[in-house]
Amino acid sequence: MKRLDRRPALILALVSMALLVGALTGEAAPASRVEHAVRNGLAYLRRTQQKDGSWQRYPGITAMAVLGFLRNGVTEKDPAVAKAIKYIVAQAKPDGALYTNAYGPAQALPNYNTALCVLALKATGNPRYQPLLLKARAFLVRSQFDEGEGFKRSDRQYGGIGYGKHEDNPDVSNLQQALEALRATDLPANDPLWQKAILFLQRCQNRKESNDQSWAGTDGGFVYAANGESKADPLTGRAHSSYGSMTYAGLKSYLYAGVSRKDPRAQAAFGWIRRHYTVSQNPGMGDAGLYYYYHTMGKTLAVYGQKALTDAAGKRHVWARDLTNALVARQQADGSWVNRNARWREDDPHLVTGYVLVTLANCRPQL
């Protein structure tokens, strides 16, 4: 019994020693740093979960928190996870969507919430949710802008997915979330949705060879939407500026849709990433959407399947180590993560902590 009692203290001492060695040598101790950060992040989420099982009474944020638990080895049997899953399931609509409109249309965002909730339910590994997942998958497929709503292949919206209704403008951010959910639920590779999505992605990439829109540039990066809209334009002072989070999202979406990483379109996006590689900011956006950038960066590079990349200056980066160090350094004293820049809800520590926990889980196998 005494030997067992000493184990927590011994583990803490080893973690502290690893962190101290890392600080003195300038080298990271990634596994120890991840373990320490994840433990504190999960503790923060446990303390702040609401009585109904949600975080912020928001299905998408709740799903992101759940993914933070599940991707770091916690199972659905855990009380916090079980309560959160119960909340998510309760949001199911007859058409298969998973969202709540109890707090107004700005929070409803059916496609966004459904995609994240699908990922959370799928990550439980529990077969009881399969009927719900199949209905949600069908909802997301119907959400694509295509012939069913009178769109033609020549329309720039064609193949995209937006926040919800078809009168909204589709965008790369919502599309990438939906494609990840569809991939997770095993939508067949020969489903027409994938090729339609590729056409939309081409129209959001600054690559004239594959983008038939007049605004297309040549740097290989991605903007937000096929009309050339870029959230980075006000900061760069240029029109149709490629930026970090969307370029990672675009590349990941190509890969999910079956585009080879050797394809010129994927290579052009990866070339942009090499030229703008950083973990200090969201390239083109500064600290706006920084944690979304980290989250998308980690997922994309894990899917891309390359543990190290060489930037345009010839410097080799083990990206998971860089990302881990950047995230651990930004953790708050209470175990959470939060962005001082409130854009896209990143002043919400529940959402951002979920982002980070999933990102650290994606980094761990690479280390």
| pLDDT recorded at residue 106 | 62
The residue-averaged pLDDT of 229-257 equals 97
Which tokens sit at 79?
């009380």
- Residue 310 domain-assigned? yes
The 10s digit of each residue's pLDDT in 255-266 is 999 999 999 999
- Residue 312 domain-assigned? yes
| pLDDT recorded at residue 20 | 40
- Residue 39 domain-assigned? yes
Indicate the burial class of 242 (C-beta count within 10 angstroms; 0-12, 13-18, 19 or more): buried
Higher per-residue confidence, 49 vs 26: 49
- Residue 356 domain-assigned? yes
- Residue 160 domain-assigned? no
Inter-residue contact 331 to 40 (CB < 8 Å): yes
Number of folded domains in the chain?
1
- Residue 89 domain-assigned? no
**Model pTM?**
0.91
- Residue 112 domain-assigned? no
Residue that has been written with the tokens 């373990």 in this structure: 35
Higher per-residue confidence, 352 vs 6: 352
Q: What is the distance between the alpha carbons of residues 350 and 338, in angstroms, rounded to a whole number?
A: 8
Inter-residue contact 145 to 158 (CB < 8 Å): yes
Give the per-residue SS3 of 107-162. HHCHHHHHHHHHHHHHHCCCHHHHHHHHHHHHHHHHCCCCHHHCCCCCCCCCCCCC
The 10s digit of each residue's pLDDT in 171-230 is 999 999 999 999 999 999 999 999 999 999 999 999 999 999 999 999 999 999 999 999
Higher per-residue confidence, 367 vs 249: 249
- Residue 349 domain-assigned? yes
Range of the domain at 353: 1-48+306-367
